[in-house]
Structure 1
């Protein structure tokens, strides 16, 4: 894989604890982030806490609540072994062995693997689009300006193509911009415009990347097509919400109508 920033989200430099001499602000913020992400999937766990880099009594209590929820000894201390449990969803999304044997099936498999692990952004120090999932998709970047839908889509493409020894950069450059991918598609003859697709939905294939068109050379959102049925596509997309926002909060599975949205499609066929 080319996009390996996720690996930094799976490790801490030293054991972290209340008033620990080896405490590291960045590592404490990672711990607090994963505790809060855990609470989103388990709202009765009592692990939501502030993300400020200070391992104080609230963070210690949140750690103990995580340990209690998982039937572990309540020490309030986070060593690498416990951090592995905190960040296990990310590891599962990126490193679960794949079974598909062609790029299109792998695109669906990888996208659904990520979806099952509940990737969610956080707001940290007033900045949306933040947290370990966003940094993993955006090569270490996060914060309000870092809309992460293309980072997610390219991560899926990278992970799927790497499984069959292909380099996704042969198809498109590493980018976080829908416009860059859209223009690359036009230059290479790989982008089908929504008008053509509406006339012939058979142009759509599972595993391709959709782009929501705002104007002829301006695209605002993207994701992976996992199913096609008539005029409707099912997608897995990042930085969205239940309303289909281009600056939402999570990875979600959605249905989109080809008749109601200007959906252009970038074909992955050259790598298939």
Structure 2
């Protein structure tokens, strides 16, 4: 795998972090981020707190609440073992998918496995597109300017192709830009335009990459196609929301009508021959 930045999110620089120690700010921010993400997944457990790098009383209480949620002694101390529990969804998403009989099915499996991990972004220091999931998808980058939909798609492709002993960069360049991938698709004659798909929906297949077109050579969002049903693509996509935004807050499974929107498809067919 080329996208291994997620590994930096799975560990702390010290064995123990607690109130009263000279903790590293980066370690505390990681812990606070994961506490907030736990509350997003398990509403009401009481772990949402500020992300400021200060292990004060609020963070200590949030840690104790997480320990109570797990049925552990609530001492407010983050050990390596507890941090492993905090970050288990990320590890499982990047390492837990099983290889399938063919690459298209493996891509779908990997995308679904990420979906199960509840990837969300966080707002940190008034910046959207932040947090451990975003950094994992975006090579350590985060912040309002770092729209992460393509980072998510290429992380899925990276994992899936690696399971089959292949390299996704043979298919497309590493990029966080939908325009770069769309232009590459045109150059390699693998970008199927929406107008052709409306005539023959069978051209699009599971595992292909959807590109939401704004204008002829301008794409603003991307997703993994996991099924084609009637006039719709079933997708798994990052940095979106219920409105289908290209700057949402998480990874979701969506239904998109290709007869009502300009949805181009980066096809894997030539690469799989």
Q: Quick check: 1:103–1:271 contact (8 Å CA) kept in 2? A: no
Q: Deviations over 1:48-99 (max 9, x none)?
A: 0000000000000000000001001111011111100000000110011413
Hey, what's the Cα distance between the residues in 2 that align with 1:148 and 1:101?
Answer: 29
Aligned to 1:37: 37
Pair 1:220-2:220 in alignment: yes
TM-score by length of 1: 0.98
**Counterpart position of 1:189:** 189
- The 3-state SS of whatever aligns with 2:78 is coil
Distance 1:173 1:72 in 2: 46
Checking the alignment, whether the CA contact within 8 Å between 2:97 and 2:109 is kept in structure 1 is no
Write out per-residue CA displacement over residues 232-263 of structure 1, whole angstroms, 9 at most, x where no aligned residue. Answer: 11000000001111100000000000111100
Give the conservation status (yes or no) of the 8 Å contact 2:194–2:262: yes
TM-score, length-normalised on structure 2? 0.98
Distance 1:270 1:118 in 2: 33
Which digits, 9 at most, give the CA deviation of each residue in 1:135-178, with x for residues without a partner? 00001000000000000000000000000010000111110000
* Matched residue, 1:20: 21
Which deviates more from structure 2 when the two are superposed, residues 95-104 or residues 6-15? 95-104
Structural RMSD (CA): 0.8
> Could you tell me how far 1:108 is from its partner in structure 2?
0.5
- Partner in structure 1 of residue 210 of structure 2: 210
Stretches of structure 1 that go unaligned for 5 or more consecutive residues are none
Match status 1:135 vs 2:104:
no
* Unmatched tracts of structure 2, length 5 or more: none
The aligned length equals 271
Of stretches 91-100 and 249-258 in structure 1, the one that deviates more from structure 2 is 91-100
- Asked whether the 8 Å contact 2:99–2:160 carries over to 1, the reply is no
Name segments (4+ residues, structure 1) moved above 3 Å: none
